[in-house]
Structure 1
């Protein structure tokens, strides 16, 4: 089924697909993602509106191997991709999580079990680096018996993402071991200015009439005064004493150096979280304008295209919902780099196979 240019056809599904960041990136690299599976119904519209793939609202643990095999059959190479949520490993607001969330890492085991049953040619998993310290990671590797495996902790800024994000990326293949390592170029980091510097200026509580997602959350009068005293790249330490919160005056305030901070124009942004629309939740203040970053700016910093559609035209823009969807997404550029890696790897396999058959 390969063509004259040796570009293999790869058919994939995206588990825990969210709004489609990984799917969109893989598709950019030439991979046919036929379906995304997620339990969150809020993901359906953005997933299908921006990708040529079907959204299946389903708990991944309910997927049957024959169903998955059928979805990814019919191409040169089959693939399962995904990012299993791992809430216990998140460093954001860990103390506020309920105990019922401690079993969320079992989704990684669900992922591994499905891969073991389906036996696709390729597997890629993206997750938090802390997963490496948990026994479930070794259990996942054991599920990949018979695969060549490469994994690394990727620095987002080294692959063209304007964000200081670190993610664990694993690629496994039945086709061989050559070319599986994810390339991380020593290139100059993309900056906040390059990513969002050209977006129209808006005020706190306002939205761009041409783009409903380019909307910034409201600020109280006190927080408006605070952000006006904050310098580019600065924090609450820039404020006069009367604007500082009681917790900041305590010695323990030193453990929160980046809350109520502004981003720096000529550096990468901090990690975009589900609470990135809130000025007090991290260094999420706009570098120049007196507001937190907009939802659109957050999405662009996650490398979604500027026109990526997240809400239906007749639906309201809800910060809590869209912040969660954007913050939890796999950056599109990361998916693209993974896709480019596996496309090149599969093409090498196809060439070697054709050469052997021609002898």
Structure 2
């Protein structure tokens, strides 16, 4: 058995077993191994690579029998199709908890249908998170504070969620994104960030995870700094920082900003990166989707029909063995040193992909041309690059396949699940006493 500070693996009796430790709390899961699985080198990274590869291709970890699994109750706001929640639940199961999403809300009914099928929340609603909690802010000596304790407007919901353990959410980020050239940093939607501390304080939730784009830190309204102040005044310890998909073994350059607040805690937690335990070697696109190259098209694995102009541009890339489109073949608006060089670009097997967005179906929205086939990415490939395992079903609760437009939106907008897994483990490590308390409650 190989030993790491937080994670170790062993192969025994035809099973690959993963042990994950946070403080004194240890969880163990396993994957059954078939005879067709190739030998690994016996080193920690070899075991980890095999584990991650099997999970991405649809294997579902099973808990090692023994021990009582304590329920951890979760509320998920701005939940989308469930990338963040899927990862948080996976992380909690890995250390021996039984996660239950008590309530989830989003304004996108299509995303919620996918969420319901994969996460199985007790209650989910097409609901504006801003209508859930009421609060009034004041400013003293340049610092925000709640003039009185926030409260949940819906008494039934407040009563039912009175013992929630974890609040997670990704407030809309379009106002922060560098792709938004109209209201960047000044978008009123950025204020939705403040709903997270308000609801956490109203329900006295001990663990809070908020994710957003990196640019949220330079928001004109200082939403991250104000949120930190509100949490600290309420007795939370706060850590924040950037989580990189590449550092978690996802073949994509995506980075997201996370703020983690835990209570009790009288001091700030420092840099979030100091608490991350899921470190992996960086991986290429071939690692993530190479096995799909010869798969027949159908269902989630179907490329979009492209315009004649875009087909000609893709042909030029392959005919010239190029990965960047020449100016002479580009539309006029993308010529002469345009800042988005990756637009109309071709992916490379030996490199990671750039950030997957809602435009992955077309080469005119980014570097989304397949490395070896004259087409753009399929939804299946984009989901894999986002770290969604094949076990995650992009279907409605009734089993209906969404439209390609819906698939592009929910996959491109999603948080890679492994980021949620890393964030919840960092939160539990930040407050190891809280982790132990949850395990014996």
Q: Does TM, normalized by the shorter one, top 0.5?
A: yes
Q: Tell me which residue corresponds to 1:223.
A: 310
Moved more, 35-44 or 120-129: 35-44
* Structure in which a larger fraction of residues adopt helix: 1
Q: Which runs of 4+ in 1 moved over 6 A?
A: 2-7, 177-180, 352-355
Identify the residue that residue 227 of structure 2 maps to in structure 1.
140
Map 1:159-198 to 2 at 5 A. 159-176=248-265, 181-183=274-276, 187-198=280-291
Q: Matched residues in 2 for 1:27 and 1:281: separation? A: 32
2:209 to 124, 138, 141: 124
- Paired with 2:333 and 2:297, the residues of 1 have a C-alpha distance of 35
Name the counterpart of 2:193: 108
1:272 maps to which residue?
A: 356
Give the Cα separation in 2 of the matches to 1:32 and 1:347. Answer: 21
In structure 1, what is the Cα distance between the partners aligned to 2:439 and 2:415? 35
Pair 1:233–1:302, CA change in 2 (3 A):
farther
Matched with 1:244 is 330
Written as runs of structure 1 = structure 2, the 5 A alignment for 1:1-359 is 9-29=71-91, 30=93, 31-53=99-121, 54-64=123-133, 65=152, 69-74=158-163, 78-92=165-179, 94-95=180-181, 102-134=187-219, 135-144=222-231, 145=233, 146-176=235-265, 181-183=274-276, 187-201=280-294, 208-209=297-298, 212-230=299-317, 234-237=323-326, 241=328, 243-249=329-335, 251=336, 253-312=337-396, 315=400, 317-345=402-430, 348-349=433-434, 351=436
8 Å contact kept, 1:159–1:184: no
The structure showing larger relative contact order (alpha-carbon pairs under 8 Å, at least 6 residues apart) is 1
Distance, in Å, in 2 between the alignment partners of 1:56 and 1:28 is 23
Structure 1 range deviating more: 52-61 or 327-336: 52-61
- CA-CA distance at 1:280 after TM superposition: 1.1
For 2:406, what is the secondary structure of its paired residue? helix
Are the counterparts in 2 of residues 8 and 343 from structure 1 also a CA contact under 8 Å?
A: no
* Corresponding residue SS for 2:125: strand
Partner Cα distance (1:170, 1:6) in 2: 30
Whole-angstrom CA distance in 1 between matches of 2:428 and 2:322: 39
CA contact (8 A) 1:182 1:337 kept: no
Q: Which has the higher strand share?
A: 2
Does the 8 Å contact 2:277/2:426 carry over to 1?
A: no
Q: Secondary structure at the match of 2:175?
A: helix
CA RMSD for the aligned pairs? 3.1
**C-alpha separation in 1, matches of 2:364 and 2:391:** 27
Q: 1:351 deviation in Å?
A: 4.4
What residue number does 2:147 align with? none
CA distance in 2, matches of 1:347, 1:164: 30
Matched position secondary structure for 1:230: helix
Q: Do the aligned partners of 1:163 and 1:268 also contact (CA within 8 Å) in 2?
A: yes
Which sections of structure 2, spanning at least 5 residues, go unmatched?
A: 1-24, 27-65, 94-98, 134-151
Q: Please report the TM-score for the alignment, with normalisation by the length of structure 2.
A: 0.69
**Alpha-carbon separation, structure 2, partners of 1:67 and 1:283:** 48
Q: Sort the Cα spacing of 1:344 and 1:236 in 2 relative to 1 into closer, same or farther, 3 A.
A: same
Deviation at 1:150, TM superposition (A): 0.5
Tell me, yes or no, if the aligned pair for 2:361 and 2:408 is still in contact at 8 Å. yes
**Alignment partner of 1:34: what SS?**
strand
TM-score (norm 1): 0.83
CA contact (8 A) 1:82 1:126 kept: yes
Give the direction of change, closer, same or farther, for the CA distance of 1:248–1:85 in structure 2 (3 Å limit). closer
* In structure 1, distance between residues paired with 2:410 and 2:341: 26
Structure 2 counterpart SS, 1:10: strand
